[in-house]
A = this chain, B = another copy of it.
Amino acid sequence: IPNVGAVNFFCNYEESRGNYLVDVDNNRMLDVYTQISSIPIGYNHPALLKLMANPNHLSTLVNRPALGILPPENFPDKLTESLLSVSPSGMTRVQTMACGSCSNENAYKAMFIWYRNKERGHNMPSDEDVSTCMINKAPGCPDLSILSFNGGFHGRTMGCLATTHSKAIHKLDVPSFDWPMAPFPRLQYPLEEFTRENAQEEARCLEETEDVIVKWRQKGNPVAGIVIEPIQAEGGDNHASPDFFKGLRNIARKHGCAFHVDEVQTGGGATGKYWAHEHWGMDDPADIVSFSKKLLTGGYYHKDELQADKPYRIFNTWMGDPSKNLLLAEVLNVIRRENLLEEVTRSGKALLNGLYDLQAQYPGILSRARGQGTFCAIDICDDATRNSILLKARDKGVLLGGCGDRSIRFRPALIFKEYHVHIFLNIFNDVLAEH
Protein backbone atom coordinates (compact mmCIF):
# COMPACT_ATOMS: atom_id res chain seq x y z
CA ILE A 1 0.00 0.00 0.00
CA PRO A 2 1.73 3.20 -1.10
CA ASN A 3 1.37 6.48 0.73
CA VAL A 4 -1.92 7.80 -0.60
CA GLY A 5 -2.20 10.88 1.61
CA ALA A 6 -1.52 13.34 -1.19
CA VAL A 7 -3.48 11.57 -3.94
CA ASN A 8 -6.06 13.87 -5.54
CA PHE A 9 -7.71 11.21 -7.66
CA PHE A 10 -6.88 8.34 -10.00
CA CYS A 11 -6.55 9.05 -13.70
CA ASN A 12 -7.23 7.37 -16.98
CA TYR A 13 -4.18 8.39 -18.97
CA GLU A 14 -5.20 6.33 -22.01
CA GLU A 15 -8.29 8.48 -22.46
CA SER A 16 -6.59 11.79 -21.69
CA ARG A 17 -5.88 13.95 -24.75
CA GLY A 18 -4.05 17.22 -25.30
CA ASN A 19 -5.03 19.69 -22.60
CA TYR A 20 -7.63 17.34 -21.14
CA LEU A 21 -7.02 14.93 -18.31
CA VAL A 22 -9.62 12.18 -17.79
CA ASP A 23 -10.20 10.69 -14.37
CA VAL A 24 -11.13 7.14 -13.49
CA ASP A 25 -14.86 8.04 -13.57
CA ASN A 26 -14.46 9.45 -17.05
CA ASN A 27 -14.67 13.08 -16.00
CA ARG A 28 -12.78 15.21 -18.51
CA MET A 29 -10.91 18.20 -17.10
CA LEU A 30 -9.06 21.06 -18.71
CA ASP A 31 -5.65 20.56 -17.12
CA VAL A 32 -4.04 23.83 -16.06
CA TYR A 33 -1.62 22.10 -13.68
CA THR A 34 -0.19 19.32 -15.94
CA GLN A 35 1.36 16.97 -13.36
CA ILE A 36 3.04 19.76 -11.41
CA SER A 37 4.10 21.48 -14.62
CA SER A 38 5.82 18.44 -16.11
CA ILE A 39 3.78 17.66 -19.27
CA PRO A 40 5.24 19.68 -22.15
CA ILE A 41 2.88 19.11 -25.09
CA GLY A 42 -0.22 17.60 -23.53
CA TYR A 43 -1.43 14.04 -23.07
CA ASN A 44 -0.94 11.41 -25.74
CA HIS A 45 0.46 13.78 -28.33
CA PRO A 46 0.28 11.95 -31.69
CA ALA A 47 3.95 12.67 -32.42
CA LEU A 48 5.01 11.02 -29.17
CA LEU A 49 2.70 8.04 -29.66
CA LYS A 50 4.14 7.56 -33.12
CA LEU A 51 7.67 7.82 -31.81
CA MET A 52 7.10 5.22 -29.11
CA ALA A 53 5.33 2.89 -31.55
CA ASN A 54 8.41 2.89 -33.78
CA PRO A 55 10.06 -0.53 -33.41
CA ASN A 56 13.48 1.07 -33.97
CA HIS A 57 13.23 2.50 -30.48
CA LEU A 58 12.38 -0.70 -28.63
CA SER A 59 15.99 -1.29 -27.71
CA THR A 60 16.20 2.14 -26.06
CA LEU A 61 13.16 1.30 -23.97
CA VAL A 62 14.37 -2.05 -22.67
CA ASN A 63 18.14 -1.54 -22.29
CA ARG A 64 18.80 1.30 -19.92
CA PRO A 65 22.56 1.87 -19.98
CA ALA A 66 24.96 3.19 -17.39
CA LEU A 67 25.38 6.33 -19.48
CA GLY A 68 28.51 7.53 -17.70
CA ILE A 69 30.55 4.49 -18.72
CA LEU A 70 28.79 2.72 -21.62
CA PRO A 71 26.73 5.21 -23.62
CA PRO A 72 24.85 4.14 -26.74
CA GLU A 73 26.67 4.97 -29.95
CA ASN A 74 24.16 7.64 -30.98
CA PHE A 75 24.11 9.37 -27.60
CA PRO A 76 26.30 12.37 -28.52
CA ASP A 77 24.18 12.95 -31.64
CA LYS A 78 20.99 12.65 -29.64
CA LEU A 79 22.26 15.26 -27.20
CA THR A 80 23.20 17.59 -30.04
CA GLU A 81 19.72 17.22 -31.53
CA SER A 82 17.95 17.69 -28.25
CA LEU A 83 19.45 19.36 -25.20
CA LEU A 84 22.37 21.06 -26.90
CA SER A 85 20.06 22.56 -29.52
CA VAL A 86 18.54 24.73 -26.79
CA SER A 87 21.66 25.46 -24.71
CA PRO A 88 21.49 28.63 -22.65
CA SER A 89 23.78 31.45 -23.72
CA GLY A 90 27.44 30.84 -22.87
CA MET A 91 27.02 27.13 -22.15
CA THR A 92 28.32 24.38 -24.38
CA ARG A 93 28.19 21.49 -21.94
CA VAL A 94 25.33 19.50 -20.54
CA GLN A 95 25.24 16.72 -17.98
CA THR A 96 22.11 14.58 -18.02
CA MET A 97 20.56 13.41 -14.78
CA ALA A 98 17.24 11.80 -13.96
CA CYS A 99 15.18 14.32 -11.96
CA GLY A 100 15.28 17.84 -10.61
CA SER A 101 16.81 16.77 -7.31
CA CYS A 102 19.82 14.88 -8.68
CA SER A 103 20.28 17.70 -11.20
CA ASN A 104 20.56 20.26 -8.42
CA GLU A 105 22.53 18.01 -6.05
CA ASN A 106 25.14 17.41 -8.74
CA ALA A 107 25.17 21.05 -9.76
CA TYR A 108 25.95 21.92 -6.14
CA LYS A 109 28.72 19.33 -6.09
CA ALA A 110 30.16 20.77 -9.31
CA MET A 111 30.19 24.23 -7.68
CA PHE A 112 31.89 22.93 -4.54
CA ILE A 113 34.55 21.11 -6.57
CA TRP A 114 35.14 24.21 -8.70
CA TYR A 115 35.34 26.45 -5.63
CA ARG A 116 37.82 24.22 -3.76
CA ASN A 117 40.09 23.91 -6.80
CA LYS A 118 39.95 27.68 -7.14
CA GLU A 119 40.94 28.03 -3.47
CA ARG A 120 43.78 25.52 -3.94
CA GLY A 121 44.98 27.13 -7.14
CA HIS A 122 45.39 23.62 -8.57
CA ASN A 123 43.57 20.27 -8.77
CA MET A 124 45.70 18.23 -6.39
CA PRO A 125 44.00 17.51 -3.08
CA SER A 126 46.31 17.20 -0.08
CA ASP A 127 46.71 13.94 1.82
CA GLU A 128 44.72 15.56 4.60
CA ASP A 129 41.91 16.38 2.16
CA VAL A 130 41.82 12.75 1.06
CA SER A 131 41.91 11.23 4.54
CA THR A 132 39.46 13.62 6.20
CA CYS A 133 36.84 13.41 3.47
CA MET A 134 36.44 9.69 4.19
CA ILE A 135 35.15 10.55 7.67
CA ASN A 136 33.00 13.55 6.66
CA LYS A 137 35.43 16.08 8.13
CA ALA A 138 37.05 19.30 6.91
CA PRO A 139 39.19 20.07 4.99
CA GLY A 140 38.23 17.09 2.77
CA CYS A 141 34.53 17.73 3.32
CA PRO A 142 34.91 21.50 3.56
CA ASP A 143 32.76 24.04 5.34
CA LEU A 144 31.28 25.55 2.22
CA SER A 145 27.74 26.69 1.62
CA ILE A 146 25.19 27.36 -1.09
CA LEU A 147 23.25 30.60 -0.70
CA SER A 148 19.54 30.34 -1.44
CA PHE A 149 16.49 32.54 -1.07
CA ASN A 150 13.56 32.83 1.27
CA GLY A 151 10.64 31.12 -0.50
CA GLY A 152 12.91 29.19 -2.84
CA PHE A 153 12.36 25.57 -3.78
CA HIS A 154 15.13 23.39 -5.20
CA GLY A 155 14.07 19.86 -4.29
CA ARG A 156 13.86 17.56 -1.31
CA THR A 157 16.98 15.43 -1.16
CA MET A 158 19.17 16.63 1.68
CA GLY A 159 21.48 18.98 -0.23
CA CYS A 160 18.60 20.46 -2.21
CA LEU A 161 16.44 20.62 0.89
CA ALA A 162 19.02 22.81 2.64
CA THR A 163 18.33 25.40 -0.09
CA THR A 164 14.55 24.97 -0.05
CA HIS A 165 12.58 27.46 2.03
CA SER A 166 9.03 27.28 0.77
CA LYS A 167 7.01 25.35 3.37
CA ALA A 168 7.82 23.95 6.80
CA ILE A 169 6.30 20.56 5.98
CA HIS A 170 9.06 20.05 3.39
CA LYS A 171 11.86 20.59 5.90
CA LEU A 172 10.58 19.64 9.32
CA ASP A 173 12.58 16.97 11.20
CA VAL A 174 15.27 16.65 8.53
CA PRO A 175 18.82 17.63 9.57
CA SER A 176 20.25 20.42 7.47
CA PHE A 177 23.36 22.43 6.71
CA ASP A 178 24.25 25.82 8.16
CA TRP A 179 23.78 27.54 4.81
CA PRO A 180 22.69 31.15 4.36
CA MET A 181 19.35 32.40 3.11
CA ALA A 182 18.82 35.84 1.57
CA PRO A 183 15.48 37.62 1.05
CA PHE A 184 13.79 37.19 -2.32
CA PRO A 185 12.14 40.46 -3.42
CA ARG A 186 8.52 40.75 -2.43
CA LEU A 187 7.24 42.81 -5.36
CA GLN A 188 3.98 44.59 -6.00
CA TYR A 189 1.97 43.70 -9.09
CA PRO A 190 1.43 44.62 -11.88
CA LEU A 191 5.17 45.17 -11.96
CA GLU A 192 4.97 48.11 -14.36
CA GLU A 193 2.77 50.09 -11.97
CA PHE A 194 5.17 49.81 -9.07
CA THR A 195 8.57 50.21 -10.70
CA ARG A 196 9.94 52.59 -8.09
CA GLU A 197 8.79 50.59 -5.06
CA ASN A 198 9.90 47.34 -6.62
CA ALA A 199 13.33 48.69 -7.53
CA GLN A 200 13.75 49.74 -3.89
CA GLU A 201 12.73 46.32 -2.64
CA GLU A 202 15.13 44.63 -5.04
CA ALA A 203 17.97 46.93 -4.00
CA ARG A 204 17.31 46.02 -0.37
CA CYS A 205 17.43 42.29 -1.19
CA LEU A 206 20.66 42.65 -3.17
CA GLU A 207 22.25 44.53 -0.32
CA GLU A 208 21.22 41.90 2.20
CA THR A 209 22.45 39.17 -0.10
CA GLU A 210 25.85 40.75 -0.18
CA ASP A 211 25.85 41.16 3.59
CA VAL A 212 25.01 37.50 4.04
CA ILE A 213 27.82 36.42 1.72
CA VAL A 214 30.31 38.48 3.71
CA LYS A 215 28.95 37.22 7.01
CA TRP A 216 29.19 33.56 6.02
CA ARG A 217 32.71 34.04 4.72
CA GLN A 218 33.66 35.66 8.00
CA LYS A 219 32.27 32.78 10.00
CA GLY A 220 34.29 30.29 7.97
CA ASN A 221 31.55 28.84 5.82
CA PRO A 222 32.02 30.69 2.52
CA VAL A 223 29.36 30.73 -0.18
CA ALA A 224 30.59 28.57 -3.07
CA GLY A 225 27.47 29.10 -5.12
CA ILE A 226 24.20 31.02 -5.28
CA VAL A 227 21.09 29.17 -6.42
CA ILE A 228 17.91 30.91 -7.51
CA GLU A 229 14.78 30.30 -9.56
CA PRO A 230 14.02 32.90 -12.27
CA ILE A 231 10.46 32.80 -10.92
CA GLN A 232 9.97 31.23 -7.50
CA ALA A 233 7.36 28.57 -8.21
CA GLU A 234 6.48 26.39 -5.18
CA GLY A 235 7.12 29.40 -2.97
CA GLY A 236 4.18 31.31 -4.47
CA ASP A 237 5.12 32.47 -7.99
CA ASN A 238 7.33 35.34 -6.99
CA HIS A 239 8.86 37.37 -9.80
CA ALA A 240 11.83 39.70 -9.90
CA SER A 241 13.10 42.06 -12.58
CA PRO A 242 15.96 41.46 -15.02
CA ASP A 243 17.83 44.19 -13.13
CA PHE A 244 17.62 42.19 -9.94
CA PHE A 245 19.09 39.11 -11.60
CA LYS A 246 21.79 41.18 -13.29
CA GLY A 247 22.67 42.65 -9.92
CA LEU A 248 22.82 39.21 -8.39
CA ARG A 249 24.98 37.87 -11.20
CA ASN A 250 27.40 40.72 -10.52
CA ILE A 251 27.43 40.06 -6.79
CA ALA A 252 28.22 36.39 -7.48
CA ARG A 253 31.09 37.41 -9.75
CA LYS A 254 32.40 39.99 -7.32
CA HIS A 255 32.48 37.51 -4.41
CA GLY A 256 33.74 34.55 -6.43
CA CYS A 257 30.57 32.49 -6.06
CA ALA A 258 29.21 30.33 -8.88
CA PHE A 259 25.76 31.38 -10.10
CA HIS A 260 23.23 28.59 -10.54
CA VAL A 261 19.86 29.27 -12.13
CA ASP A 262 17.37 26.54 -11.29
CA GLU A 263 15.00 26.21 -14.26
CA VAL A 264 13.44 22.92 -13.18
CA GLN A 265 9.96 24.47 -13.17
CA THR A 266 10.49 27.52 -15.38
CA GLY A 267 12.42 25.82 -18.19
CA GLY A 268 10.95 24.26 -21.30
CA GLY A 269 8.88 27.03 -22.78
CA ALA A 270 6.09 28.03 -20.40
CA THR A 271 7.36 31.62 -20.09
CA GLY A 272 7.36 32.00 -23.88
CA LYS A 273 11.08 31.25 -24.13
CA TYR A 274 12.90 27.96 -23.62
CA TRP A 275 14.53 29.38 -20.51
CA ALA A 276 12.98 31.97 -18.24
CA HIS A 277 16.39 33.58 -17.77
CA GLU A 278 16.39 34.54 -21.47
CA HIS A 279 14.01 37.32 -20.46
CA TRP A 280 16.93 38.93 -18.61
CA GLY A 281 18.67 39.57 -21.93
CA MET A 282 22.15 38.62 -20.71
CA ASP A 283 24.99 37.05 -22.68
CA ASP A 284 26.42 35.41 -19.60
CA PRO A 285 23.38 34.73 -17.42
CA ALA A 286 24.76 31.89 -15.28
CA ASP A 287 27.48 29.34 -14.61
CA ILE A 288 25.00 26.49 -14.23
CA VAL A 289 21.39 26.04 -15.39
CA SER A 290 19.53 22.98 -14.11
CA PHE A 291 16.35 21.53 -15.61
CA SER A 292 13.88 18.64 -15.41
CA LYS A 293 10.04 18.37 -15.57
CA LYS A 294 8.97 19.58 -19.07
CA LEU A 295 12.40 18.56 -20.40
CA LEU A 296 11.44 14.98 -19.38
CA THR A 297 15.05 14.22 -18.51
CA GLY A 298 16.88 15.97 -15.71
CA GLY A 299 20.28 17.56 -16.04
CA TYR A 300 22.22 20.76 -16.03
CA TYR A 301 24.11 22.94 -18.47
CA HIS A 302 27.35 24.42 -17.31
CA LYS A 303 30.29 26.52 -18.37
CA ASP A 304 33.59 24.79 -19.09
CA GLU A 305 35.05 25.85 -15.75
CA LEU A 306 32.36 23.97 -13.89
CA GLN A 307 33.36 20.65 -15.45
CA ALA A 308 34.68 18.36 -12.68
CA ASP A 309 38.41 17.86 -13.09
CA LYS A 310 38.31 14.04 -12.82
CA PRO A 311 35.94 11.28 -13.91
CA TYR A 312 33.63 9.65 -11.32
CA ARG A 313 33.28 12.87 -9.29
CA ILE A 314 29.92 13.67 -10.87
CA PHE A 315 28.60 10.21 -11.44
CA ASN A 316 25.89 7.69 -10.66
CA THR A 317 24.60 4.44 -12.14
CA TRP A 318 22.27 5.75 -14.81
CA MET A 319 23.21 9.42 -15.31
CA GLY A 320 19.86 10.04 -17.00
CA ASP A 321 17.80 7.85 -19.30
CA PRO A 322 18.12 7.76 -23.11
CA SER A 323 14.43 6.87 -23.43
CA LYS A 324 13.62 10.30 -21.98
CA ASN A 325 16.06 12.02 -24.34
CA LEU A 326 14.29 10.34 -27.20
CA LEU A 327 10.97 11.82 -26.08
CA LEU A 328 12.55 15.21 -25.48
CA ALA A 329 14.02 15.38 -29.00
CA GLU A 330 10.54 14.86 -30.41
CA VAL A 331 9.00 17.36 -28.01
CA LEU A 332 11.47 19.96 -29.26
CA ASN A 333 10.55 19.09 -32.86
CA VAL A 334 6.90 19.65 -32.04
CA ILE A 335 7.64 22.95 -30.29
CA ARG A 336 9.48 24.18 -33.39
CA ARG A 337 7.06 22.79 -35.94
CA GLU A 338 3.99 24.14 -34.20
CA ASN A 339 5.61 27.43 -33.11
CA LEU A 340 4.56 26.68 -29.59
CA LEU A 341 6.65 29.38 -27.95
CA GLU A 342 4.75 32.03 -29.91
CA GLU A 343 1.54 30.26 -29.02
CA VAL A 344 2.49 30.38 -25.34
CA THR A 345 3.26 34.09 -25.58
CA ARG A 346 -0.14 34.72 -27.17
CA SER A 347 -2.08 32.51 -24.74
CA GLY A 348 -0.13 33.94 -21.84
CA LYS A 349 -1.16 37.50 -22.76
CA ALA A 350 -4.79 36.46 -22.98
CA LEU A 351 -4.54 34.63 -19.67
CA LEU A 352 -2.89 37.47 -17.78
CA ASN A 353 -5.29 40.05 -19.22
CA GLY A 354 -8.19 37.83 -18.27
CA LEU A 355 -6.84 37.55 -14.73
CA TYR A 356 -6.45 41.34 -14.54
CA ASP A 357 -10.11 41.70 -15.55
CA LEU A 358 -11.29 39.17 -13.00
CA GLN A 359 -9.26 40.75 -10.25
CA ALA A 360 -10.84 44.12 -11.06
CA GLN A 361 -14.21 42.41 -10.89
CA TYR A 362 -13.55 40.46 -7.65
CA PRO A 363 -11.18 42.68 -5.67
CA GLY A 364 -12.25 41.05 -2.40
CA ILE A 365 -11.12 37.64 -3.58
CA LEU A 366 -8.35 38.14 -6.13
CA SER A 367 -5.15 40.13 -6.10
CA ARG A 368 -1.61 40.21 -7.44
CA ALA A 369 -2.24 38.62 -10.85
CA ARG A 370 1.18 38.05 -12.36
CA GLY A 371 2.93 35.99 -14.97
CA GLN A 372 5.22 35.51 -17.90
CA GLY A 373 3.90 33.52 -20.84
CA THR A 374 1.36 31.09 -19.43
CA PHE A 375 3.44 30.77 -16.25
CA CYS A 376 0.88 32.82 -14.33
CA ALA A 377 -0.52 33.02 -10.82
CA ILE A 378 -2.99 34.96 -8.76
CA ASP A 379 -3.52 35.35 -5.02
CA ILE A 380 -6.71 34.43 -3.22
CA CYS A 381 -7.87 36.28 -0.10
CA ASP A 382 -7.15 33.32 2.18
CA ASP A 383 -6.09 29.70 2.18
CA ALA A 384 -9.59 28.30 2.84
CA THR A 385 -11.11 30.24 -0.05
CA ARG A 386 -8.24 29.16 -2.27
CA ASN A 387 -8.88 25.52 -1.53
CA SER A 388 -12.61 25.86 -2.02
CA ILE A 389 -12.00 27.57 -5.38
CA LEU A 390 -9.67 24.77 -6.45
CA LEU A 391 -12.33 22.16 -5.60
CA LYS A 392 -15.19 24.04 -7.27
CA ALA A 393 -13.12 24.57 -10.39
CA ARG A 394 -12.44 20.87 -10.51
CA ASP A 395 -16.15 20.11 -10.24
CA LYS A 396 -16.68 22.38 -13.22
CA GLY A 397 -13.98 20.64 -15.21
CA VAL A 398 -10.80 22.64 -14.61
CA LEU A 399 -7.81 21.20 -12.78
CA LEU A 400 -5.72 23.86 -11.04
CA GLY A 401 -2.86 23.76 -8.56
CA GLY A 402 -1.93 25.87 -5.56
CA CYS A 403 1.43 27.27 -4.56
CA GLY A 404 2.72 29.37 -1.67
CA ASP A 405 0.27 30.17 1.14
CA ARG A 406 -2.70 31.29 -0.87
CA SER A 407 -1.84 31.48 -4.57
CA ILE A 408 -3.18 29.57 -7.52
CA ARG A 409 -0.62 28.79 -10.16
CA PHE A 410 -1.41 28.23 -13.81
CA ARG A 411 0.78 25.64 -15.48
CA PRO A 412 -0.86 24.56 -18.71
CA ALA A 413 1.00 22.61 -21.36
CA LEU A 414 2.61 24.50 -24.26
CA ILE A 415 -0.35 23.54 -26.48
CA PHE A 416 -2.75 25.61 -24.37
CA LYS A 417 -4.25 27.93 -27.00
CA GLU A 418 -6.15 31.16 -26.69
CA TYR A 419 -9.48 29.36 -26.88
CA HIS A 420 -8.46 27.18 -23.93
CA VAL A 421 -7.70 30.37 -22.05
CA HIS A 422 -11.23 31.56 -22.70
CA ILE A 423 -12.77 28.25 -21.67
CA PHE A 424 -10.78 28.46 -18.48
CA LEU A 425 -11.61 32.11 -17.77
CA ASN A 426 -15.33 31.49 -18.21
CA ILE A 427 -15.33 28.62 -15.75
CA PHE A 428 -13.11 30.52 -13.32
CA ASN A 429 -15.51 33.45 -13.54
CA ASP A 430 -18.44 31.15 -12.72
CA VAL A 431 -16.63 29.76 -9.71
CA LEU A 432 -15.80 33.25 -8.45
CA ALA A 433 -19.35 34.49 -9.02
CA GLU A 434 -20.58 31.76 -6.68
CA HIS A 435 -18.30 32.97 -3.88
A16: which of B48, B63, B175, B308 is its contact (CB, 8 Å)? Answer: B63
Nearest CB of B to A66, in Å: 4
User: What copy number does this chain have within its complex?
Assistant: 2
A175: which of B1, B71, B145 is its contact (CB, 8 Å)? Answer: B145
A59 near B: Cβ within 8 Å? yes
Tell whether, in the assembled complex, residue A165 and residue B135 are in contact, meaning their CB atoms are under 8 Å apart.
yes
Tell whether, in the assembled complex, residue B3 and residue A308 are in contact, meaning their CB atoms are under 8 Å apart.
yes
Q: A49-B62, A105-B157 are in contact. Are A318 and B99 (CB under 8 A)?
A: yes
Contacting B at CB under 8 A, from A10-53, are 10-14, 16, 21, 24, 35-36, 38-39, 43-45, 48-49, 52-53
Number of interface residues of A (CB under 8 A): 118
A310: which of B137, B156, B169 is its contact (CB, 8 Å)? Answer: B169
Tell whether, in the assembled complex, residue A159 and residue B159 are in contact, meaning their CB atoms are under 8 Å apart.
yes
Q: A3-B308, A63-B39 are in contact. Are A72 and B11 (CB under 8 A)?
A: yes
Tell whether, in the assembled complex, residue A69 and residue B36 are in contact, meaning their CB atoms are under 8 Å apart.
yes
Tell whether, in the assembled complex, residue B312 and residue A65 are in contact, meaning their CB atoms are under 8 Å apart.
no
Nearest CB of B to A221, in Å: 9
A31, B13: Cα distance in complex, Å: 37
- Of the listed residues A45, A174, A316, the one surrounded by the most CB atoms of chain B closer than 10 A to its CB is A174
Determine the main DSSP class of A at the interface with B: loop
A59, B58: Cα distance in complex, Å: 15
Tell whether, in the assembled complex, residue B307 and residue A156 are in contact, meaning their CB atoms are under 8 Å apart.
no
Q: Which residues of B have CB within 8 Å of A68?
A: 3, 6-7
Q: Which residues of B have CB within 8 Å of A308?
A: 3, 5
Nearest CB of B to A134, in Å: 6
A43, B11: Cα distance in complex, Å: 32
Tell whether, in the assembled complex, residue A63 and residue B13 are in contact, meaning their CB atoms are under 8 Å apart.
yes
Q: Which residues of B have CB within 8 Å of A38?
A: 64, 66, 317-318
- Of the listed residues A39, A66, A69, A315, the one surrounded by the most CB atoms of chain B closer than 10 A to its CB is A66
A43, B70: Cα distance in complex, Å: 14
Smallest Cβ-Cβ distance to A221: which chain B residue: B175
Q: Which residues of B have CB within 8 Å of A168?
A: 125, 129-131, 133-134, 140
A421, B139: Cα distance in complex, Å: 46
A40, B195: Cα distance in complex, Å: 59
Tell whether, in the assembled complex, residue B327 and residue A62 are in contact, meaning their CB atoms are under 8 Å apart.
yes
Q: Which residues of B have CB within 8 Å of A131?
A: 168
Using a CB–CB cutoff of 8 Å, the interface residues on chain A facing chain B are: 1-3, 5-14, 16, 21, 24, 35-36, 38-39, 43-45, 48-49, 52-53, 55, 58-66, 68-73, 75-76, 79, 92-96, 98-102, 105-106, 108-109, 112-113, 115-117, 125, 129-131, 133-137, 140-145, 155-160, 162, 165, 167-179, 181, 292-293, 296, 307-308, 310-318, 323, 327
